[in-house]
Structure 1
C-alpha cells in the first residue's frame, strides 16, 4: 500500500510542477489552483508513505520519479527538448530509483 500512496504523491507533484509554467507567475487562476492543490495532495500522500518507508528512500523515489515525469511532460506539453547528456542523466536517475527499490534493504518489499 505505501507504493500506491507514493504513486499518488508523484502524480500530484508532476501535475503541480507542470502547471507552474502555465500559471505564469500565479497570474492565471486555473493553473495556479492546480499548483496549490497538486502540491497539497503530493505532500499529504508523501506523508502517508513515510509511515512505512524511510524518509531518505521515500524522498529519493518521489523526487527521482517526479524529475523524469516532469521532463517527459515538458517535452509533450511544452515541446521542450533534451540533449544526450540530459537523457543520460535521466537514465542514471531511473537506475538509482530501481536500485533503491530492487536491491536496497532500506526499501519496503
Structure 2
C-alpha cells in the first residue's frame, strides 16, 4: 500500500516538529531521551521527504515542509516553552504561509 504524498509530507512535518522540540529539551544533547528524539525525528522527516519527492516537485515540498514546520514549531515554542510571539514574528510566519499558498496556487503543487 502506497500512502498519498500529502500524508507522507504531513508526517514528515510532524516528525520535524518533534525533532525540533526535542532539540530544545535535549539541553545541548546532554539529555539522552530528547537527544534520541532529535535524531529519530529528523531522520524520519528526511526519509519521508525523500518519499514525498517521488511524486511532488522539490520547490513545493520544501516550501510546505519548512513553512508549516516553522509555524508549528513557533506555536509549540509559545505553548510549551512560553516563548514570546510578537508582531514581527507573527508577520514573518504569515509571510511564510502566504508564500506556500502562492506556490501551490500557481500550479506548482499539482500531483
**TM-score range for the pair, normalised by the shorter chain length:** over 0.9
Q: 1:97 is matched with which residue?
A: 100
* Cα shift readout 1:58-87 (whole Å, capped 9, x = no counterpart): 111100011000000000110000111111
Query: 1:26 aligns to what SS in structure 2?
Result: coil
Calculate the TM-score normalised by the size of structure 1: 0.94
Calculate the TM-score normalised by the size of structure 2: 0.93
Q: 1:45 is matched with which residue?
A: 48
Runs of 4+ in structure 1 off by over 6 angstroms are none
Rounded Cα–Cα distance in structure 1 between residues aligned with 2:30 and 2:92? 33
Q: 1:74 is matched with which residue?
A: 77
Rounded Cα–Cα distance in structure 2 between residues aligned with 1:65 and 1:50? 17
| Alignment length (residue pairs) | 108
Q: 1:35 is matched with which residue?
A: 38
Q: 1:6 is matched with which residue?
A: 9
- Structure 2: segments with no counterpart, 5+ residues: none
Rounded Cα–Cα distance in structure 1 between residues aligned with 2:10 and 2:68? 9
- Structure 1: segments with no counterpart, 5+ residues: none
Rounded Cα–Cα distance in structure 1 between residues aligned with 2:37 and 2:31? 10
**CA RMSD of the aligned region, Å?**
0.9
